[in-house]
Structure 1
Amino acid sequence: MGTSNKPPKLLRMEDYPSWADKFETYVQTINYDAWEAVEMEYIIPRNENVTTHRLSQIPKAEKPRFLGEKNMMNLFQQAIKSEIFQLLQHNGSCHSIWEALLNNDRGNPNMRKSKIGLFKKEFDIFVMVKGESMAQLIERYCHLVNEMKRLGIGKQEYEHFHKLANSLSDEWKLSL
């Protein structure tokens, strides 16, 4: 969830979609300059020993981006569970970390195509499960629709209404 002092924590990759929105809002609220490090890649200058320059060695014009990168890295380290952070493939910049999280969530093109096919099929066969309450049905349906939107699967509004209405068990349908 996060607080005004701490960013929301990503504990499982499955939580990435909802966490990403909260995290982005949190960072932009507390330090917009740090968020710019995510949007525009910045590679921290290194000296001849391939170590980071001291702050006093960074050119004055470059200091805001340097500090933004460092602040953002600090926020990432606070917000992302270390086991997840270690598995990300990135070049060390905040921009590449954000892209790695995004790519990890989306998957490679073949996996993405497979997910899209799976969710389209799940939408087509969606029905009320025996013993399921209306609240459970709606919660399951909303989750399905949100996942489809996240993957870019568009449906017309009337298709959503018809699918939900047709998914009801016979005991919920009106007889004519």
Structure 2
Amino acid sequence: MENLSAFVSQPSILLQNISLENEMRTSNKPPKLLRIEDYPSWADKFETYVQALNYDTWNAVEEEYIIPKKENGKNYILSQIVDADKDSFLKEKKILNLFQQSIKAEIFQLLQHNGSCYSIWQALLNKDRGNPDMRKSKIALLKKEFDIFTQVKGESFSKLIKRYCYLVNEMKRLKIDKPEYEYIDKLANALPEEWGTFILIQQSNPIAYARLILASFIEKLEAHDLELKKK
């Protein structure tokens, strides 16, 4: 079974329904952002991809650089840029090119930016966060989903874990803080009745159980699920 525990210890969310090519990008293709909802996970992959190509190039995203324009409003070309400015100019152009390859056109059209890589990156972040009212509503919805989380009829163990990891990562992304034991107890209570004995065994050692983190608890569940499948 695919080990999902690593996802819950990362800020990025667990992607669902994403193509293998987008998930396992090749060296000459940056990761694709096809939905704004996928921004957190895409942002991590995009940053890693750019830094792996040329770490210094990432400066174009972290520090704003405005490509100089002529009096008629058109951009200068490289041959017209002074030597001291060429490095920043090239970094900016490289990131802009990667943005154009990575971000779906429909998403790009909705971004409010001034054309710089820095402003595009910030616009994506703002688009993902939404306005304060939307953010407040989403936080309330996630809290409610957590409170009522349980297994759906006919749902497999692996799908239950995926759904739970997605929920937890969304909560962490929006800074909904809960102690680790609450995440563990909620998942334990969501498991079907046949898991009751296994959960009781885990809880029979209160000290060890209290020291568990969600990632290690999920690993234990996955190992037990494998044992059940062998029978």
TM-score, normalised relative to structure 1: 0.92
Which residue in 1 is equivalent to 2:85? 62
State which of 117, 130, 138 in structure 1 corresponds to 2:140: 117
1:171 to partner: Cα distance? 4.5
Which residue in 2 is equivalent to 1:104? 127
Q: Does 1:148 align with 2:152?
A: no
State which of 87, 90, 94 in structure 1 corresponds to 2:117: 94
1:84 to partner: Cα distance? 1.4
Q: Does 1:162 align with 2:182?
A: no
Structure 2, unmatched stretches of 5+, are 1-21, 201-231
Report the Cα distance in structure 1 between the residues aligned to 2:70 and 2:159, rounded to whole angstroms: 58
- What percentage of residue pairs aligned between the two structures are identical? 71
Which residue in 1 is equivalent to 2:47? 24
State which of 81, 99, 120 in structure 1 corresponds to 2:104: 81
Which residue in 1 is equivalent to 2:34? 11
The CA RMSD over aligned residues, in Å, is 1.8
Which residue in 1 is equivalent to 2:4? none
Aligned partners of 1:33 and 1:65 also within 8 Å: no
| Paired residue secondary structure (2:46) | helix
| Paired residue secondary structure (1:173) | helix
Aligned partners of 1:90 and 1:100 also within 8 Å: yes
Partner AA of 2:114 in structure 1: N
Which residue in 2 is equivalent to 1:128? 151
Q: How many residues align?
A: 176
Report the Cα distance in structure 2 between the residues aligned to 1:62 and 1:143, rounded to whole angstroms: 44
